[in-house]
């Protein structure tokens, strides 16, 4: 099988509360059409049965578009749905255990909130890390923002791919890119948009513009 490549730039995560009345799969399809090049299924208040059904649906979608699919938290669901990997937080199963279960062919991403956690995940063999929340966000309430200072530190010290996440919108993404992020992740700004494809396209353009002269 081999690990899918992780040269992503725009990472879109599901967030069903942000698009009442619209189907999750259609919203994510629009995000992909606009340029999201990796997708994560994240649903904190959903039964495992429902999560699995969603994972199957997104697997079918992401195969059609040849986009990697990751599952937040649930290694069993990732395996059952033949996802490309998982995204784990600091309190989920440890990286070494996840790697032992998933093997080398699957992607493991780790959320980090400071440079020590970043370097630990890198040394432990993470494929990429999340850096955030850069700004306060209702999607992850109660978690202190790390600000663009941590993005700058990550850009200087982290050698595996890192993706900035948390409260990032089209209004503040330039500051995040300016701080050295080359990959951007969003939940609410994309899936909560009236036009997810247009919003994803606008994010992608900003990312490309910075990477061209960065």
Residue 73 is assigned to a ligand binding site? yes
CB of 22 to ligand TZP, least distance (A): 16
Taking CB under 5 A as the rule, does residue 29 contact Mg ion?
Answer: no
Taking CB under 5 A as the rule, does residue 92 contact Mg ion?
Answer: yes
Question: Interface with ligand TZP by CB under 6 A: which residues?
Answer: 111, 130, 132-133, 137, 139-140, 165-168, 186-189
140 is catalytic: yes
Which residues, in sequence order, are CB contacts of 175 under 8 Å at separation 6+? 148
Alpha carbon distances (Å) from 98 to 74, 78, 102, 106, 170: 10, 11, 6, 10, 34
Site string for Mg ion, 68-87 (x = CB under 5 A): -----x--------------
Taking CB under 5 A as the rule, does residue 161 contact Mg ion?
Answer: no
CB of 10 to ligand TZP, least distance (A): 12
Beta strands in 64-106, from DSSP E residues, in sequence order: 69-72, 85-88
* Token pair for 194: 């009236």
Reply yes or no: is the peptide bond before residue 30 cis, omega within 30 of 0. Answer: no
Number of Cβ within 10 Å of residue 104's Cβ equals 11
Annotated binding site: 40-44, 72-73, 92, 111, 137-140, 167, 187-188
Contact positions vs Mg ion (CB under 5 A):
73, 89, 92
Return the active site residues. Answer: 42, 111, 140
């Amino acid at each position: 099988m081999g690990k899918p490549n992780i040269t992503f730039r725009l990472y879109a995560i599901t967030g069903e509360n942000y698009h009442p009345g619209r189907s999750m799969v259609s919203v994510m399809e629009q995000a992909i059409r606009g340029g999201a090049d990796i997708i994560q299924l994240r649903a904190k208040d959903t039964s495992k049965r429902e999560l699995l059904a969603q994972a199957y649906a997104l697997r079918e979608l992401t195969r059609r578009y040849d986009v990697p699919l990751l599952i937040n938290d649930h290694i069993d669901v990732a395996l059952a749905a033949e996802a490309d990997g998982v995204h784990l937080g600091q309190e989920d199963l440890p990286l070494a255990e996840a790697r032992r279960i998933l093997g080398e062919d699957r992607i493991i991403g780790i959320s980090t909130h400071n440079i020590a956690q970043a370097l630990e995940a890198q040394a432990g063999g993470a494929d990429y890390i999340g850096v955030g929340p850069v700004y306060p966000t209702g999607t992850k309430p109660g978690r202190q923002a790390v600000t663009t200072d941590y993005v700058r530190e990550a850009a200087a010290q982290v050698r595996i791919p890192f993706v900035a996440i948390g409260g990032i919108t089209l209004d503040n993404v330039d500051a995040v890119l300016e701080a050295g992020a080359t990959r951007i992740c969003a939940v609410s700004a994309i899936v909560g948009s009236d036009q997810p494809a247009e919003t994803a396209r606008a994010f992608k353009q900003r990312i490309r513009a910075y990477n061209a002269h960065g």
